[in-house]
Amino acid sequence: MTRKSLTPYLMASVGTVIPCVLTTLVAIVPASTPVFAAPTGIGAGVLSPSAGGLDLTEGAAVDPRSLETVLSLVNEIDKLSELEPMIDTGIVSQDKDAEAVASDDFEFGELLAQSGSSAQQKKRRVAPKKKTGTVRPRAKTGTAVRATAPRPKANAVQREEDRGRQAVRRNDYFEASKIFFGLLDREKNPARLLQIRFILGRTLQELKLHQVAAFPYYEIIRSEGKTNPKNRYVRQALERLTVAGDSLESDILLNYAVKQINEEDFPAANRDMLYFRRGEVRYRDRNFIEAARELNRVRSSSGFYNRARYQLALSLVEANQLEKAEQVFAALAETSSDAGITNKSRVNAMMGRARTLYQRKMYADAIEAYREIPRDTEQWHDSLFESTWALLQDGRFRSALSNFHSLHSPFYDEFYQPESLLLRSIVYHYICRYDEMETTLSLFERVYGPVQKDLRATLMSSSPSSSISLYREIRKIDESFDELKKVGKKSRQIQIPFLVARQVLREGDVRRSMAYIRNLEAELRRIQSSPATWRDSRVGRYAKRVVERRMGTTQVVTGRLIRRHLERIQTDLSGHFEQASLVRLDMLSGKKEAVKKEIAGKGLIRDQVGDQQDRSFFIQNGYDYWPFQGEFWLDEIGNYHYLGVKACE
């Protein structure tokens, strides 16, 4: 039995959690059940029923073509031509002195130790000392004397370089960055200009200004050409650009650097990061086999190991290597168990294993795997909903209805899950419980009718050019979520429906963009808190402008992502209301048949499973038995049991 045949009215979406009261439920709670805090978040995946499987990635992805357009746009905006140009100097092959300065085993410390060209140093070594009292002979009358005046400008540039290196050696990176930034428009030797740009980028990274440092590196990489193939500065710049992208959590910088760098050019100590980021890029490019190969190279001693193993398992799932994926998930859960039962890596791995078992159609095993998810984790709510699908596939309708009662408790009334209510009504239809079916459909329309209306108004009132306002609205909800949750719905001064905003905030691309923006904000705060002499200097003003422009650009791009998600949710919600109408028609037809049977004297079955058992039966088996009377308690969530039976003839 496929999920699609079980739920003929449902399209791909995510479920809901709204309070609903059933008279046929009891709370059967183990006597030793501890009270846990109510889950307040969501797990790392989204169940997508109509797709016939589970989306195991962190948040549902937008259309790849749309995402490709967004990335292309950001890459265009990132071009240095739109910012203050550093210096447009033609790049030529390095001369002998520059080659001596930068060898294949080049290190930053060796570079700083240099203080001028080898030819200049040699000239200084062989120059004879002046003797005291020596008198220079006067030239004969009429004889031309060859001028040997020094080059003041070249010497001044060299002195500035030496002063900058000295500042780096004493860890005065503010002063060093000022000096090397000022040298960009004074140094005319292309090879030495590459060197200056690289040192400038390193000093900015020492100040934790990764976004600002990315631009000198970007200029070095752009300098590569036929006359300057893969020079050592390009290789080093790519390495440092990868580090900057990793620190900023910037997909754009990482994609740009990782796709160009050669493994042999990357330091062995940092190759685990390279393997992990390469795997991510291959995964996003849907090259899952190559992604798995790269991710599998990350060593167990690396800080990237857990994330790499999780991403490896996702790649295996996408490559339809489900058995291997389950083994990786299980091993990761076991490896992470030492960090505690609620460790995020461990719980995500357990969720991944349960989802993989579901895709393998091993529904009973999947149900048990979902039940192992700790209650006091943000993934528990997702596990409860996803296990409901497995229960339905396994034909366990009563257990599924028990889960629905917990999902629709007031503790989860801020989750956007319209599909859950529709699915619950369909289960009632299968067991001919038409009264409860009508109650559930009415609840769906009462909750999501206003949401659909407000969402339509939001999209109509915001033009495509107002992406920044959508970003600010989502950001405000993200930062004030707990406060907004406490106040009444009518008191919330927000543009986007609260339930929908919560759903958008869990989307993986939106979360990554928000993380990048927060990292940029932290970088801007570091600039603003820097010494005034640096902040007001040319490099300080440049750094501020770079970060502010990147923030503005990323906010606009994030707003466009948010708008696409809102449009998709609106489309899905319209489909849900159409499905609800079809379900209601079936309900009316079923009620009509039920009335005919009652007139014929057949009637409907109203029995419950526990009618023949009193409370003492459950107490003797280690449970507390309480008939549900419309009141929810936190320690009962997840322990409700539906006692109704199939009411069909």
Lowest mean pLDDT, pick from 102-116, 210-224, 530-544, 634-648: 102-116
Tokens of 643: 């006692």
Dist. CA 55–CA 24, nearest whole Å: 34
Q: DSSP for 293-341?
A: HHHTTS-TTSTTHHHHHHHHHHHHHHTT-HHHHHHHHHHHHHHGGGG-T
Dist. CA 361–CA 162, nearest whole Å: 69
Lowest mean pLDDT, pick from 366-370, 487-491, 575-579: 487-491
pLDDT in tens, 393-425: 888 888 888 888 888 887 777 788 898 899 999
Cβ-proximal residues to 247 (8 Å cutoff; 6+ apart), any chain: 208, 210, 519
**Run of H or E including 55:** strand 53-55
Does 547 score more than 90 pLDDT?
yes
Query: What percent of the chain has a predicted confidence (pLDDT) above 70?
Result: 66
Work out the pLDDT band at 613, boundaries 50, 70, 90: low
The H-assigned helical ranges of 184-270 are: 190-206, 210-222, 232-248, 251-258
Residue with more model confidence, 39 or 228: 228
Dist. CA 389–CA 382, nearest whole Å: 11
Q: For the sheet containing 640-642, what is the strand order? A: 623-627, 25-30, 640-642
DSSP 82: G
Tokens of 389: 């699908």
Does 463 score more than 70 pLDDT?
no
Sign of the Cα torsion 425, 426, 428, 433 reads: positive
Dist. CA 569–CA 455, nearest whole Å: 9
> Is residue 415 a contact partner of residue 384, using CB atoms and an 8 Å limit?
no
pLDDT in tens, 179-196: 999 999 888 888 888 889
User: What is the separation of C-alpha 172 from the centre of its chain, rounded to a whole number of angstroms?
Assistant: 35
Residue 419 φ then ψ, to 5°: -60, -35
Which residues make beta-bridge pairs with 625? 28
| Closest residue by Cα to residue 630 from 408, 429, 438, 413 | 408
How many Cβ atoms are within 10 Å of 39's Cβ, its own excluded? 22
| Closest residue by Cα to residue 404 from 18, 26, 41 | 18
The H-assigned helical ranges of 492-639 are: 498-505, 508-528, 532-535, 538-599, 615-620
Lowest mean pLDDT, pick from 49-58, 165-174, 398-407, 519-528: 49-58
Does 505 score more than 50 pLDDT?
yes
3-state secondary structure of 620: helix
Residue with more model confidence, 589 or 642: 589
Does 93 score more than 80 pLDDT?
no
Which one-letter amino acid corresponds to residue 628? F
Dist. CA 191–CA 228, nearest whole Å: 10
Work out the pLDDT band at 504, boundaries 50, 70, 90: very high
3-state secondary structure of 228: strand
Dist. CA 628–CA 635, nearest whole Å: 13
- pTM, two decimals, is 0.70
Residue with more model confidence, 325 or 32: 325
pLDDT in tens, 126-169: 444 444 444 444 444 444 444 444 445 558 888 888 899 999 99
Mean pLDDT on 19-24: 39
How many Cβ atoms are within 10 Å of 10's Cβ, its own excluded? 21
Lowest mean pLDDT, pick from 9-23, 140-154, 519-533: 9-23
> Is residue 286 a contact partner of residue 308, using CB atoms and an 8 Å limit?
no
Dist. CA 507–CA 58, nearest whole Å: 7
Work out the pLDDT band at 51, boundaries 50, 70, 90: very low
Does 85 score more than 80 pLDDT?
no
Q: What is the pLDDT of residue 624?
A: 63
How many Cβ atoms are within 10 Å of 393's Cβ, its own excluded? 19
Q: What is the pLDDT of residue 444?
A: 92
Dist. CA 291–CA 304, nearest whole Å: 15
Which residues make beta-bridge pairs with 244? none
Q: What is the pLDDT of residue 186?
A: 86
Dist. CA 524–CA 204, nearest whole Å: 13
> Is residue 635 a contact partner of residue 34, using CB atoms and an 8 Å limit?
yes
Q: What is the pLDDT of residue 617?
A: 59
Beta strands in 379-481 (DSSP E): none
3-state secondary structure of 631: coil
Cβ-proximal residues to 295 (8 Å cutoff; 6+ apart), any chain: 275, 276, 279, 308, 309, 311, 312, 315
DSSP 263: G
Pairing mode of beta strands 623-627, 46-48: unpaired
Residue 400 φ then ψ, to 5°: -65, -45
| Closest residue by Cα to residue 577 from 384, 421, 361, 433 | 421
pLDDT in tens, 548-570: 999 999 999 999 999 999 999 99
Work out the pLDDT band at 346, boundaries 50, 70, 90: very high
Query: What percent of the chain has a predicted confidence (pLDDT) above 90?
Result: 32
Mean pLDDT on 20-33: 41
Dist. CA 68–CA 74, nearest whole Å: 10
User: Counting beta carbons within 10 angstroms of the beta carbon of residue 246, is it exposed (0 to 12), middle (13 to 18) or buried (19 or more)?
Assistant: buried
The H-assigned helical ranges of 116-231 are: 118-126, 152-169, 173-183, 190-206, 210-222
Work out the pLDDT band at 377, boundaries 50, 70, 90: confident
Q: Helix/strand/coil (H, E, C) string of 475-525?
A: HHHHHCHHHHHHCCHHHCCCCCCHHHHHHHHCCHHHHHHHHHHHHHHHHHH
User: Counting beta carbons within 10 angstroms of the beta carbon of residue 464, is it exposed (0 to 12), middle (13 to 18) or buried (19 or more)?
Assistant: exposed
Does 351 score more than 90 pLDDT?
yes
**Run of H or E including 641:** strand 640-642
